[in-house]
């Protein structure tokens, strides 16, 4: 199913840091935006080049507005630069929220934010405060001047700041934070790839089960150099029985869409979950960064990045 776009207007713009713009969006046509839960993100359709980019909703759920915080990243693919040109009153098109990074049903929550990775976790903090949840947020940034929402979080006793250029004693000690795995605790990680990989690796080394670890990436992780070779395979559409060859240099999603199959997509990097379908037959080779191990084991599959270990992969389309 194709994405349904909504018209939004920028009703406020502030600078969280020299490089982070906070944009408040309201419905452009007077109707209400769909509700969302902490951890959700939206797609933004940028008119310049038809780019589609994903941004976490960082405001408290239930306000009627959508709040985004966008880093002007010099290494971006063009989305952040385009977002930073938006001014008060400008209009843009957005999708309804979807949430692949929700708060888990846990007694306690450990949140690790690196840099702009604070955005989905900020909404989680708001929700946990509202419901009296037990949590600790560790917020790591290179410098205090680069940290968004410091004034908003400074008086919160459950928030620990870690700045690379300040007293070494306050830097993040991941091993200490994750020393004792607990069956009633959920861990959340968002930020640059290196930061996330470090936290997740230390959690795994400490014995935390995969089901306790929740992550959201802003960019696809680097391919595993020891992973399986990318080979051609056949994708079968269960609803029609039609089969299509997926070459080693194309994704299953590309092949499906070019053959007229209604296969939704957004990021095309395996990080948003929009294209996820179910495998009915065959053995997937999972290469996404959005599905949990349990979801992968349950047959879910991201055709934009993942491939097949079997000759044929039948999808529930």
- Nearest-Å Rg of the Cα atoms of the chain is 20
Which residues lie across from 315 on neighbouring strands?
237, 279
In order along the chain (317 residues), what is the average pLDDT of each group of 10 residues? 83 96 94 94 80 91 94 76 92 93 96 97 97 97 95 96 93 95 96 94 96 87 56 91 90 90 77 86 89 87 91 91
80 Cβ contact list (under 8 Å, min separation 6): 53, 70, 71, 72, 73
Summarised one tens digit per residue, pLDDT across range 26-68 is 999 888 999 999 999 999 988 755 678 889 999 999 988 999 9
pTM above 0.85, yes or no: no
CATH numbers and ranges of domains, the chain: 5-95 (2.40.30.10), 108-216 (3.40.50.80), 233-315 (3.10.20.30)
What number of helices (H) and strands (E) belong to the chain? 7, 18
């Amino acid at each position: 199913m194709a994405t349904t776009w909504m018209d939004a207007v920028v009703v406020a713009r502030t600078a969280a840091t020299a490089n982070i713009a906070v944009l408040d969006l309201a419905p452009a046509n007077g109707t209400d935006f769909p509700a969302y839960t902490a951890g959700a993100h939206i797609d933004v359709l940028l008119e310049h080049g038809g780019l589609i980019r994903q941004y976490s909703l960082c405001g408290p759920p239930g306000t009627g507005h959508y709040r985004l915080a966008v880093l002007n990243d010099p290494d971006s693919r063009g989305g952040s630069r385009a977002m930073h040109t938006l001014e008060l009153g400008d209009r843009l098109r957005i999708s309804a929220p979807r949430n692949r990074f929700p708060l888990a049903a846990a007694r306690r929550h450990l949140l690790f934010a690196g840099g702009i990775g604070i955005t989905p976790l900020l909404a989680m903090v708001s929700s946990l405060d509202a419901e009296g949840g037990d949590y600790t947020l560790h917020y790591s940034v290179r410098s205090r001047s680069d940290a968004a929402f410091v004034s908003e979080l400074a008086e919160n006793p459950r928030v620990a700041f870690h700045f690379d250029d300040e007293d070494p004693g306050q830097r993040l000690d991941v091993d200490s934070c994750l020393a004792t795995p607990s069956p009633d605790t959920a861990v959340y990680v968002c930020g640059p790839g290196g930061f996330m990989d470090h936290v997740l690796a230390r959690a795994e080394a400490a014995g935390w089960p995969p089901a306790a670890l929740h992550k959201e990436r802003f960019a696809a992780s680097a391919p595993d150099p020891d992973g399986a070779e990318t080979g051609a395979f056949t994708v079968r559409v269960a609803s029609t029985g039609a089969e299509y060859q997926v070459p080693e240099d194309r994704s299953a999603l590309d092949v499906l869409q070019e053959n007229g199959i209604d296969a939704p997509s957004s990021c095309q990097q395996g990080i948003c979950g929009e294209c996820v379908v179910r495998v009915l037959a065959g053995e997937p080779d999972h290469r996404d960064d959005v599905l949990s191990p349990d979801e992968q084991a349950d047959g879910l599959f991201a055709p934009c990045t993942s491939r097949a270990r079997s000759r044929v992969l039948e999808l529930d389309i």
